[in-house]
Structure 1
Amino acid sequence: MQTLNQDIKSGEFKQIYLLYGEEAFLKNSYKNRLKEAIIGDDTMNFARFEGKGLDVDELIRLADTMPFFAERRLILIEDSGFFKTASDALVQYLPSMPDTTILLFVETEVDKRNRLYKKIKDMGYAAELNRQDSAQLARWAGGILAREQKKITNHTMELFLSMTGDDMENIRMELEKVISYTLGRDVITDEDVMAICTVQVTNRIFDMVSAIVNRQTRKAMDLYEDLLTLKEPPMRILFLIARQFNQLLQVKELMAKGMDKGTIASKLKMQPFVVGKTMPQARQFSREQILSYVNSCVETEEAVKSGRLQDRLAVELLITKEYG
């Protein structure tokens, strides 16, 4: 991110940028900042391509076109799939691309063995923008609050992040609500956070996993129905359940090595508040029992991807499965 910030500040840009990773807020933020810095509001020298199956010949023709009464032409390509299955024509073309053209790729899936990825590493800059750890999120959120002349203790910030989850876009929206709620006051309290912040999907997932491992099938199914009502796709719910079980397994293993909450949080880049909630859950079960849940999640995903089960039913079967 330091390289991106420096290029935006200096106005000296590389010919190709790749923004990838699971933190959508950061990808969107840097995409917009780069676009603004490179061409501003110049629409004549800006083009955007999105989705798989793009016409590479058309892309190359446009990249070869000189900018119209401007220094640069910017081409934005989003979720192209080029970094899973590279276009040989595009890889071969890049070294001869005019200096006046800048390509900006924004991708969800990237294979670092991919030829296009390697070419961009050679010619430009690839930025992996992943979820931030709790300390980074706390600093970022604290900076936003400070600009609004708001103060918050470490404990209250920890509570706030435990309710919002680690999605930066959601954190930003919740910060706006807290700032508005505390208008006229400069200190944000636990009570303010509890009154305003929405309990997010990750909290429901935590409760669902607790219900599954405690064999509270009805409660787990009710939580599943709540998430479906909130328009959460079944496969995203499955991903979050699997992630929670994996975290449970990791916490269990580090506890067995004698590590305390703070050390575990630092090692796994988890919020201490979340680790504190996970540790009692991990104590209830053996490593083998938790691993059986992890394996069940993998089997469920394979059943859906192979077409053997419909996604909604597959997650229902996972939740209601009898574990030994």
Structure 2
Amino acid sequence: MQNLTQDIKNHSFKPVYLLYGDEAFLKNSYKNQMRTAISGDDTMNYNYFEGKGLDLNELISLADTMPFFSEKRLIMVEDSGFFKGASDELVAYLPQMPDTTCIIFVESEVDKRSRMFKKVKEIGYAAEMARQDFAQLSRWAGGILAREGKKITGRTMELLLNMTGDDMENIRMELEKLVSFTMGRDVITDEDVEAICTVRVTNKIFDMVTAIVNRQTKKAMDLYEDLLTLKEPPMRIMFLIARQFNQILQVKELMAKGMDKGAIASRIKVPPFVAGKMMPQAKTFTREQILSCVTQCVEAEEAVKTGRLNDRMAVELLITRKF
């Protein structure tokens, strides 16, 4: 991402860019910065495409069109699927594209083995917008608060990120609430965070898995009902349960290698406090039991996909099953 920042600063742009990864906030932020830097308010030399099934001939024709009273023509393409499926014609065209055109691809799904991905890396720049770790999020959130004249301790920041999760857009919204809530005060406290911040779905999933691990079936089912009330789809809940058990398995294997909380957090890319919570869970089960949990999650998903169970019933059976 430093390369993107440098290109924007120097106003020197490569012919093609790819912004991809799980962190939507960063993708949108850099997409907007790039558009402002390249074309500003110019709509005549800016074209936008979204979704699969794009007309390649139209795209190439526009890319070949000289900009009108401007240095660059900018073409923005989102979620095209070009980096998952075959796009040989576009791969062959990109090196021939006039230097007056810049194309920015913003993609949710990318196959790094694809010819398209390799070509963009060769002649342009591919920037992965991954989820940020605890230290990065702390610095970023602390910077936002500092610009608003607010101070926050490391302990309170940990509490905040524990409640918000690692989604940067969600953190940004919670920070705005905190700034408004503490108007007239400089320091943000634990009490402020607990009073105003919304607990993320992933935190409820964590509590649910803890209840499952501790054989607290009623508590796990109550948390499941809470998530359904929040309009959370059962299949997403199942996915998050499976992901949680996968992470517990990784934690257990890393603990067996003698790694401490900090090292484990760094390896599996979660905040240290999250790793610290998963370590007791990992101790509760044997490796084989955790593998069995993961397998049962896969089997539950398969039962839904094949029509043997509806999604809600599948998750209920998964929660009440004896692991």
TM-score (structure 2 length as normaliser) = 0.94
Instruction: Among all aligned residue pairs of Structure 1 and Structure 2, give the percentage whose two residues are the same amino acid.
Output: 76
* Shift in CA distance, 240/6, structure 1 to aligned 2, threshold 3 Å: same
Q: CA deviation at 1:297?
A: 2.3
Aligned length: 323
The SS at the match of 1:207 is: helix
The SS at the match of 2:14 is: coil
Q: CA deviation at 1:45?
A: 1.2
* Shift in CA distance, 130/302, structure 1 to aligned 2, threshold 3 Å: farther
Query: Match of 1:288?
Result: 288
Report the more deviating stretch, 313-322 or 157-166.
313-322
Q: CA deviation at 1:309?
A: 4.9
| Deviations 1:125-144 (CA, angstroms, capped at 9, x unpaired) | 00011100111111111111
Q: CA deviation at 1:53?
A: 1.4
Structure 2: distance between partners of 1:244 and 1:99: 47
Query: Match of 1:225?
Result: 225
Instruction: Say if 2:75 is the partner of 1:65.
Output: no
Q: Is the 8 A contact 1:206 1:244 kept in 2?
A: yes
The SS at the match of 1:184 is: coil
* Shift in CA distance, 310/78, structure 1 to aligned 2, threshold 3 Å: farther
| Deviations 1:165-190 (CA, angstroms, capped at 9, x unpaired) | 00000111111111111111111111
| Equivalent runs, 1:129-144 vs 2, <5 Å | 129-144=129-144
Report the more deviating stretch, 111-120 or 255-264.
255-264
Query: Match of 1:87?
Result: 87
Q: Is the 8 A contact 2:304 2:311 kept in 1?
A: yes
Instruction: Say if 2:300 is the partner of 1:300.
Output: yes
Query: Match of 1:270?
Result: 270
Structure 2: distance between partners of 1:180 and 1:112: 43
Q: CA deviation at 1:305?
A: 4.9
Query: Match of 1:5?
Result: 5
Q: CA deviation at 1:307?
A: 5.8
Report the more deviating stretch, 70-79 or 212-221.
212-221
Report the more deviating stretch, 75-84 or 56-65.
56-65
Instruction: Say if 2:251 is the partner of 1:251.
Output: yes
* Shift in CA distance, 76/306, structure 1 to aligned 2, threshold 3 Å: farther
Q: CA deviation at 1:303?
A: 4.3
Report the more deviating stretch, 148-157 or 304-313.
304-313
Query: Match of 2:198?
Result: 198
| Deviations 1:72-99 (CA, angstroms, capped at 9, x unpaired) | 1111111111111021111111121111
Q: Is the 8 A contact 1:158 1:272 kept in 2?
A: no
The SS at the match of 1:22 is: coil
The code of the aligned residue for 2:68 comes to F
Report the more deviating stretch, 27-36 or 215-224.
215-224
Report the more deviating stretch, 217-226 or 148-157.
217-226
The code of the aligned residue for 2:184 comes to G
The SS at the match of 1:3 is: helix
TM-score (structure 1 length as normaliser) = 0.94
| Deviations 1:8-55 (CA, angstroms, capped at 9, x unpaired) | 111100110100000111011111110111100111111111111111
The code of the aligned residue for 2:105 comes to F
Q: Is the 8 A contact 1:160 1:193 kept in 2?
A: yes
Structure 1: distance between partners of 2:313 and 2:124: 45
Structure 2: distance between partners of 1:127 and 1:51: 20
| Deviations 1:248-302 (CA, angstroms, capped at 9, x unpaired) | 1122222233333233223333212212222222222212111111122233344
Gaps of 5+ in 1: none
| Deviations 1:61-118 (CA, angstroms, capped at 9, x unpaired) | 1111121221111111111111110211111111211111111100011001101111
State the Cα RMSD in Å: 1.8
